[in-house]
Structure 1
Amino acid sequence: MDLLHHFPHARQRPLRELLAEKQTWVNQDKKGFLRYRALLNELRHIRATWLDLNSDVVHIGRPSDLSPADRVHLQAALCSLKPWRKGPFSVFGIEIDAEWRSERKWNRLIPELPDLSGKIVADIGSNNGYYMFRMAFHHPTLVLGFEPYVHHYYTFNLLNSFAGLSNLQNTLLGIEHLSLFPESFDVIFCMGILYHRPSPIESLQALHVALKPGGSIIVESQAIPGEEPVALFPEHTYAKVPGTWFVPTATCLQHWMQRAGFHNIRCFCAHEMSSEEQRQTPWMEFESFQDFIDKDNPGLTIEGYPAPRRVFFAANKN
């Protein structure tokens, strides 16, 4: 079924052209793309007989679903998809302990989770789809992932080829393409994105445009401590991340959302970050949170800026 039939208000022609362009790009016969397509082709015959999408670990399949040969191939394939940033997953009994303990974030937003049943949902920056699988438990009509990074795009597609959930789909689009989806989504999740955008106000305005009247949004962001409506603009990097632009206080982010047109804005959770939630594991062997923080003063980043917090907002569009 055509994906775009879910979006009667979308700018159909430019959107179709863009999606076709992205598909042509990702289908190139280049090593960086072929390695991912080879994984899908080798393992696409495998199907899970059981899913558990309502526990902290997303379970896809049972160990008994695999032949011994398939298990060897699957183990190698999952290892080749390192680093795993979001999780945890159990894929046919293979336990994937990702860098982020993403179930903690999901559990924090559960009290404010909008009704997803029968809804059209967007997950902006969907990564490998951990949150999309958790959303699927609530029976949305469609969850559309916006994930421009090829590694994450193919990791989700591999996992969902096993899970077989037709109401979960991802695209190679990013938040900058939301203007093609006016009044298209009942619920939008934008988690961990805004501080990577050089113009967070424009991004929030785009989110507002893409939301249906009466729709709901969850915004989660890195933040700095403080009550003043200010944002940090790092000279080069923030916590070793070069693609960080504005890191607001919770008050500043609330003001941004107000100016972008959202209503009924509420900050329902704020917490300090820690290496208990973001850390190096055998499935993510690079630097992680403990390497980003001043070892002599955990209240500061390695650059000397205030250490990051996370803040959660819920809001609506009138």
Structure 2
Amino acid sequence: MDLLEHFQDAKRDPLRRLLAEKSAWFSQDKKGFLRYRLPLRSVQDLRASSCDFSGDVVRIGTADDLSADDHARVHQILRGLMPWRKGPFSVFGIDIDAEWRSERKWNRLVPELPALAGKMVADIGCNNGYYMFRMAPYQPTMVLGFEPYVHHYYTFNILNTFAQQPNLRAEPLGIEHLALFPECFDVIFCLGILYHRPSPLEALRDLHSALRPGGILLVESQAIAGNDPVALFPAHTYAKVPGTWFVPTATCLHNWLTRTGFTEVRLFCDHAMSSAEQRRTAWMEFESYQDFIDKDNPALTIEGYPAPRRVFFKAKK
């Protein structure tokens, strides 16, 4: 089904033009695109006999679904999609231990989930779709993943080629494109995104405008400890990440939410980060949390800033 058929209130002509531009851009015969497009094309005929999204591991198919040659080919393709940031997955019996133990974040969200059955849902910055697959058993009408990065966009599409979940879809869009979806979503997940935005208030306004009246926002963010309504603005990097702008306290983020129009704003989880949750693995071989923190003082980042916490809010339009 055409995406626009799901969104009668969307700004249809600008959205159609944008999606056409994105499609043309992704269709370029450049190495950075072919690296992902050719593997996707090569597995179009492979299907999982069953899927299980109810547990911590997103399970897509079993080893018995594939011939030995196809299994080896899929393993090579999955390794070519490294680094795996979100997970864990089991794909045709191939276990993928991602950098983030994303089931921990999901399990913190579960007690606060609004009803998703029959709802239009957005996952902003959906990455490889781990959280989208975890939403699938709740029977939403659609989960639309916004994912502007070529690597993550194609990883989700390869996984969903196997899984064939018709109510899950990703598009190469960013949070800045929410303005094309006025009052289109019943629930929006915005997990690990705000501190990457140079204007978090503008991002929150876009999230607010994309929700239908009475809609629910679930937002999770990196944060610093403290009760004062302030945000850290790093000079260059924060925990070695250059694309980090404002890192708020929970109080500051609460104020951002209320001042951008949200009601019933509630902090429901606040915890310190650790290498038990984000770490280097055989499927993500680069630096991870333990490399971002001062080895002599784990209360500080490598730059000397307060070490990160994670905070979770639920808010209503």
Per the normalisation by structure 1, the TM-score is 0.99
Partner of 2:176: 176
Partner of 2:266: 266
Partner of 2:111: 111
Whole-angstrom CA distance in 1 between matches of 2:216 and 2:172? 23
Is 1:204 the counterpart of 2:204? The answer is yes
Counting only pairs closer than 5 Å after superposition, residues 132-171 of structure 1 correspond to structure 2 as 132-171=132-171
Whole-angstrom CA distance in 1 between matches of 2:162 and 2:33? 20
Cα drift, residue 42 of structure 1? 1.2
Cα drift, residue 94 of structure 1? 0.1
Partner of 2:191: 191
Choose 122-131 or 29-38, whichever is displaced more.
29-38
Counting only pairs closer than 5 Å after superposition, residues 72-151 of structure 1 correspond to structure 2 as 72-151=72-151
Counting only pairs closer than 5 Å after superposition, residues 233-272 of structure 1 correspond to structure 2 as 233-272=233-272
Whole-angstrom CA distance in 1 between matches of 2:114 and 2:146? 19
Whole-angstrom CA distance in 1 between matches of 2:296 and 2:29? 49
Counterpart residue identity of residue 121, structure 2? V
Whole-angstrom CA distance in 1 between matches of 2:181 and 2:95? 37
Q: Structure 1: any 5+ residue segments left out of the alignment?
A: none
Partner of 2:290: 290
SS at match of 2:138: coil
Is 1:60 the counterpart of 2:60? The answer is yes
Choose 94-103 or 2-11, whichever is displaced more.
2-11
Cα drift, residue 281 of structure 1? 0.1
Cα drift, residue 15 of structure 1? 0.4
What value does the CA root-mean-square deviation take over the aligned residues?
0.5
Cα drift, residue 82 of structure 1? 0.2
Whole-angstrom CA distance in 1 between matches of 2:177 and 2:74? 34
Counterpart residue identity of residue 18, structure 1? L
Counterpart residue identity of residue 299, structure 1? A
Whole-angstrom CA distance in 2 between matches of 1:290 and 1:34? 33
SS at match of 2:32: helix
Cα drift, residue 295 of structure 1? 0.3
Per the normalisation by structure 2, the TM-score is 1.00
Whole-angstrom CA distance in 2 between matches of 1:147 and 1:308? 24
Number of residue pairs matched? 317
Q: Deviations over 1:44-85 (max 9, x none)?
A: 111001111010000000111000000110010000000000
Which consecutive aligned stretches of 4+ in structure 1 deviate over 4 angstroms post-superposition?
Answer: none
Q: How high is the sequence identity, in percent, across the aligned residues?
A: 70
Is 1:26 the counterpart of 2:26? The answer is yes
